[in-house]
């Protein structure tokens, strides 16, 4: 169905769905391409703002505020398209299309044991990230649910090489409750890659984990948590590399290549038709073989 015959609500739904599907690092490219098709600046700006907000949460888009990294996620959303940064104590809107902060406001936070633990865990996590990621970012946030305090640790690293026709993202999220004696850590590791040279290949791999940690004191908990993250992410990386090695070049060629690849050579169709003793009826749109074999023919 042509875009011109869609209602405004249908257009909004299609635009939002296409933008949300944009791979990490390619949101702006997808937006620019859709602008050429839609030719409605007001509609595209509104849908770009909505979809961009969801894109930031989905892929943990990193920012830098006063020299400190901030990862955007649904755990630090405040509503009305606003995010909150625990380190700078600022709330703000982020325009993904313009890559800039907007409407910055100051907010206070409650200083308690959970806030102190958050800072200790963040320090331990930063040491791990600096040792294992070339350009990684991490953040630790707090959340109170039914009077229970939770810490959410996020890690993100990416390499967007649009000029080289590939983009890649690694991110993980770890949640645990601030409990004495024992706490359960719930984690999710996510890997996505997009290759678009000669072939359009999307790769998504994720793993969910649950582990328990003993709690002696805050320093011990922070170090144990960082070791747990390191151990689980190393296992995940080793498993991914093993799977990719098994997917040999021969297997990839069988999956991705067509049975009759383009040879870029001229084909003498008249000679072929003569050799096969074919009778051709272009107006009817098919070819009749002399041995009564009928097949479709695209003219």
**Ordered structural domains, the chain, with CATH:** 8-106 (3.30.1140.60), 113-255 (3.90.1150.210)
Give the pLDDT of residue 243: 81
Res 278 pLDDT > 60: no
Give the pLDDT of residue 281: 39
Asked if residues 185 and 212 have their Cβ atoms less than 8 Å apart, the reply is: yes
- Mean pLDDT, range 196-205, rounded to an integer: 83
- Mean pLDDT, range 198-225, rounded to an integer: 90
Give the pLDDT of residue 144: 85
pTM for the model? 0.78
Q: What is the mean pLDDT of the chain?
A: 82
- Mean pLDDT, range 3-12, rounded to an integer: 75
Work out the percent of the chain whose per-residue pLDDT is above 90.
42
Greater confidence, 287 or 57?
57
């Amino acid at each position: 169905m042509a875009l011109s015959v869609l209602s405004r609500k249908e257009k909004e739904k299609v635009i939002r769905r296409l933008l949300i599907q944009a791979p990490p690092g390619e949101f702006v490219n997808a937006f620019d391409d859709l602008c050429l098709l839609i030719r409605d600046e007001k509609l595209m700006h509104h849908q770009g703002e909505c979809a961009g907000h969801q894109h930031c949460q989905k892929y943990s888009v990193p920012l830098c505020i006063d020299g400190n990294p901030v990862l955007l996620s649904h755990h630090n959303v405040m509503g009305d398209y606003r995010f909150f940064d625990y380190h700078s104590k600022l709330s703000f809107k982020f325009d993904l299309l313009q890559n800039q902060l907007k409407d910055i406001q100051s907010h206070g936070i409650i200083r308690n044991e959970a806030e102190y633990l958050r800072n200790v865990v963040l320090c331990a996590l930063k040491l791990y990230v600096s040792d294992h990621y070339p350009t990684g970012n991490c953040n630790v946030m707090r959340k109170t649910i039914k009077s229970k305090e939770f810490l959410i640790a996020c890690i993100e690293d990416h390499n967007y090489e649009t000029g080289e026709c590939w983009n890649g993202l690694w991110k993980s999220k770890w949640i645990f409750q601030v409990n004495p004696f024992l706490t359960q850590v719930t984690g999710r590791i996510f890997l996505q890659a997009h290759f678009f040279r000669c072939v359009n290949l999307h790769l998504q791999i994720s793993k969910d984990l649950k582990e328990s940690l003993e709690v002696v004191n805050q320093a011990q908990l922070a170090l144990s948590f960082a070791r747990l993250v390191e151990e689980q992410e190393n296992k995940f990386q080793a498993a991914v590399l093993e799977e990719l090695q098994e997917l040999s070049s021969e297997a990839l060629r069988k999956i991705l290549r067509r049975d009759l690849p383009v040879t870029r050579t001229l084909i003498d169709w008249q000679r072929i038709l003569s050799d096969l003793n074919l009778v051709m009826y272009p107006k009817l749109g098919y070819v009749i073989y002399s041995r009564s074999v009928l097949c479709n023919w695209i003219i």
